[in-house]
Structure 1
Amino acid sequence: MAIVKPFQCVRPNKEEARLVAALPYDVYNRNEACQVTAGNPKSFLNIDRPETQFPQDVDIYDDRVYEKAANMLKEWMKDGTFVQDDVKAYYIYELIMDGRGQTGIVACSSIDDYLNGVIKKHENTREEKELDRIRHVDTTDAQTGPIFLAYRSREEINRLVEEKKKADPLYDFTADDGISHKVWRIADPDTVSLIEEHFLRIPATYIADGHHRAASAVKVGIKRRKETPDNTGEEEFQFFLSVLFPDDQLMILPYNRVVKDLNGLSLVEFLSKLSEGFTVTAAGENAFGPSEKGSFGLYLNKTWYCLKAKEALKSDDPVKGLDVSILQDNLLGPILGIKDPRIDKRIDFIGGIRGLKELEKRCEEDMTVAFSMYPTSIGELFAVADAGLLMPPKSTWFEPKLRSGLFIHMLK
């Protein structure tokens, strides 16, 4: 059963919500983050990436950086940029991109559910990325970026959510990227109890996006348990900020690949090796994105090709059968020499939101060959997590991205 709790939210005032709401901290490098904050002093990125408040020669992991984040959060709560609701509540969060919407419930999930496997994972985390968010959460006493969780859709929750969306929203704005955001608050005790009961009937939730944020929040919770030996299990640090979406509303975009060279092969040699495991057909000059599982687009020498994996390469194994695995295990590794895509500098990954033209652009600038992918499905993600397995790196790209700064969970 999934323990999903209401919480006393810190959130932006209605007039400034659009300015405060920011894309996740990890979609930017330092220079990009500085550009965003310079153009919008109310962007939550000022707090989420507090190194933007310092000269470039100050290390992003300097103690002063995290202290700055904590001080700015306190200042924004004091000056009215943020308000804190006086009761614990759930929130409904709707995002609409290109006319397509998805609606989730903002709540706090249990760190014990994470530790005992009720909250299921599908990728590993890197310690250095965890350490940054651990320090950010611990120093600010706040979780500021929600973890994107999915669950198998349940009609009783869908009906409740749709009924509550008939009320006037707390927030209703369209961000600069064209994505619309609406938020409703659910604070009446009967509905709050009903939501909690509905989730107690759900056997598992799944991390769709935010593995590092989740791991960091849990480690801060464990640390505070040790510091509070008489804890009751109900303290705020026992839970982490999340938005839970039904699986049938989610869209995963492809995560495409570009490679720097052909590993010493000529064009003829490369295509010959490809033909051993794939059926290769020319697709012309127009950008080609695959329309079915087991197919791949290949861009090389200003020409697009369609690759179709032969039956021998396909597998019923939840990980080996993924398109990203078929490409890695039968092409990127053995033919192009990309043994570990997590650390190999010859490969780069491009989220599907950037489009196929970005693949062509990269091949003109600094890469040689590009691969367009068919997106991993949410069902495949669930199957991998249910089997206790891990996906290859860069298997999924979720859109639209949840905004940070709209919902803050204080740990004290």
Structure 2
Amino acid sequence: MAIVKPFKAVRPSRDKAALVSSKSYEIYTPEMLHSKLAFNPFTFLHVINPGYKYHKQDVSGDLRFKLVHNRYLEFKEDKIFKQDKSPAFYIYKKTTATNSFCGIITATSVEDYHKNVIKKHEGTLKERELLFENYLKNTGFNAEPVLLTYPDNDVIKTIIEKYKKQRPEYEFSTTDKDLHLLWVVDQKEDIEQIIEAFKKIDTLYIADGHHRSTSSCLLAQNLAKENENHTGNEDYNFFMSYLLPESQLSIYEFNRFIKDLNGFTADEFLIELDTFFRIEKRGQELYKPKEKHHFCMYLNGDFYALYLRKSIYKFTDSLSKLDAEILYQTVLKPILGIEDIRNASKILYSQNKTDSLELKTKVDTGDYKVSFGMLPTTIKELKGIVDAGLMMPPKTTYIEPKLRSALTIYEF
């Protein structure tokens, strides 16, 4: 049974929504960030980059978090942000050149996370958990929802379709040509139907935002200890999420780029690969896998097709069938000596959504010796691994939609 709760979102006024909302802070290059801050006084980037006001870009730690809180208060004082008077759900639709996504922004339960009703597919780093927990505690808000997915549900779909026929609260396009629409669900009957529909859903899966969800749970534990009158209903016992039907989730793969061959020559490396793979040289033909357990490799100016020898490699569980895990167990670890696949000094990951020639171009520059590509993970594979209590390797999935910050803000 999944618990969802409406909340009183703090959000931009209708006339400023397009100017206020931003992409995730980490996406912007320093040049892009400076341009946004210099020419848009309403962008939420001013809140999360508070040092700009004082011409200081190196503000960090607790001081930065406190200044974020102050800039946030200023946005509220200047009526750039307002808080809804009654709790609501928020239907959000994003349309890109190739896809359309439509789901519901809600408050989801920390208790569900602990009970494994909300399941994760990636591990988290303790250092990042603590950093974001400290950020949340100092600022008092979260402006970017965790992306959760759930099995398609007719009741929820009917309510969403009902609101999509109405005029949206927000309707704007961004410079990347994406269209953004948001509707406010504040009718009691619709809210109750949504709550009851999610109560009948056994599991929600985290698609994106593992550190944000884990940090929210950590914050809730700490605030509960500090609160002598803790009831479990306080706002800190929930975190903001965007719930999207499984059928609308888009999953892309990550390419892998390796900096050296661990002492092997190219010919010796190919011989090492022969144990687990049937190898076909494709020359300058760009090979893209069409089946699971097939891999693309670019080495020494040529593309190769690698086909897993299933008579040699044994499947033991759902994780062992995952292509990213197969590549790690047969190539990255035993041949290339990469024990820690988070080690940025040896391996680079890059999502394969936009540049199909990247496998070649990055190696041809001389920065990397070999690259690997594979098919994207399916939602069925993801759920199978999670339901078995296993974790996927890092950088296995690049999942869309990527959500904007500050369309709705959750305070606690």
Normalising by structure 1, report the TM-score: 0.94
Match of 1:391 in 2: 392
Residue pair 2:249, 2:401 contacting (<8 A) in 1 also: no
**TM-align CA RMSD:** 2.0
2:64 is aligned with 1:65: yes
The aligned runs of 1:122-271 (5 Å cut-off) are 122-271=121-270
Residue pair 2:51, 2:57 contacting (<8 A) in 1 also: no
Change (3 A) 1:36 1:306: farther
Match of 1:109 in 2: 108
Match of 1:375 in 2: 376
Residue pair 1:149, 1:205 contacting (<8 A) in 2 also: yes
- Shift of the alpha carbon at 1:354? 4.0
- Deviations 1:177-204, CA, capped at 9 Å, x for gaps: 2222211111000000110000011111
* Secondary structure of residue in 2 paired with 1:16: helix
Q: 2 CA distance for matches of 1:124 and 1:324? A: 15
Q: 2 CA distance for matches of 1:261 and 1:86? A: 58
Residue pair 1:288, 1:356 contacting (<8 A) in 2 also: no
Q: Which consecutive unaligned segments of at least 5 residues does structure 2 have?
A: none
- Deviations 1:130-170, CA, capped at 9 Å, x for gaps: 22221221111111110000111112212221222111111
* Secondary structure of residue in 1 paired with 2:274: helix
- Which 10-residue stretch deviates more, 259-268 or 35-44? 35-44
Q: 1 CA distance for matches of 2:125 and 2:49? A: 19
Match of 1:16 in 2: 16
* Secondary structure of residue in 2 paired with 1:307: strand
- Shift of the alpha carbon at 1:31? 6.9
- Shift of the alpha carbon at 1:46? 3.0
* Secondary structure of residue in 1 paired with 2:180: strand
Match of 1:80 in 2: 79
Q: 2 CA distance for matches of 1:314 and 1:178? A: 46
Q: 2 CA distance for matches of 1:137 and 1:397? A: 25
Change (3 A) 1:333 1:38: farther
Residue pair 1:48, 1:144 contacting (<8 A) in 2 also: no
- Equivalent AA in structure 1 for residue 123 of structure 2: N
- Deviations 1:303-337, CA, capped at 9 Å, x for gaps: 21121212132525121111000001001111111
Change (3 A) 1:150 1:405: same
* Secondary structure of residue in 1 paired with 2:171: strand
Q: 2 CA distance for matches of 1:37 and 1:47? A: 10
- Deviations 1:362-389, CA, capped at 9 Å, x for gaps: 2133112111121111111111111111
Q: Which consecutive unaligned segments of at least 5 residues does structure 1 have?
A: none
Normalising by structure 2, report the TM-score: 0.94
2:328 is aligned with 1:324: no
Change (3 A) 1:213 1:31: farther
Q: 1 CA distance for matches of 2:207 and 2:53? A: 31
Q: 2 CA distance for matches of 1:330 and 1:303? A: 21
Q: 2 CA distance for matches of 1:289 and 1:43? A: 40
* Secondary structure of residue in 2 paired with 1:313: coil
Q: 2 CA distance for matches of 1:4 and 1:156? A: 15
> How many pairs were matched up?
410
Change (3 A) 1:38 1:300: farther
Identity of aligned residues (%): 37
Q: 1 CA distance for matches of 2:35 and 2:362? A: 23
- Which 10-residue stretch deviates more, 298-307 or 395-404? 298-307
- Equivalent AA in structure 1 for residue 246 of structure 2: D
- Which 10-residue stretch deviates more, 4-13 or 273-282? 273-282
Change (3 A) 1:100 1:344: closer
* Secondary structure of residue in 1 paired with 2:404: coil
2:288 is aligned with 1:276: no
Q: 1 CA distance for matches of 2:314 and 2:348? A: 24
Q: 2 CA distance for matches of 1:250 and 1:54? A: 41
Change (3 A) 1:246 1:263: same
Q: 1 CA distance for matches of 2:39 and 2:271? A: 51
- Which 10-residue stretch deviates more, 326-335 or 362-371? 362-371
Residue pair 2:319, 2:385 contacting (<8 A) in 1 also: yes
Residue pair 1:288, 1:372 contacting (<8 A) in 2 also: no
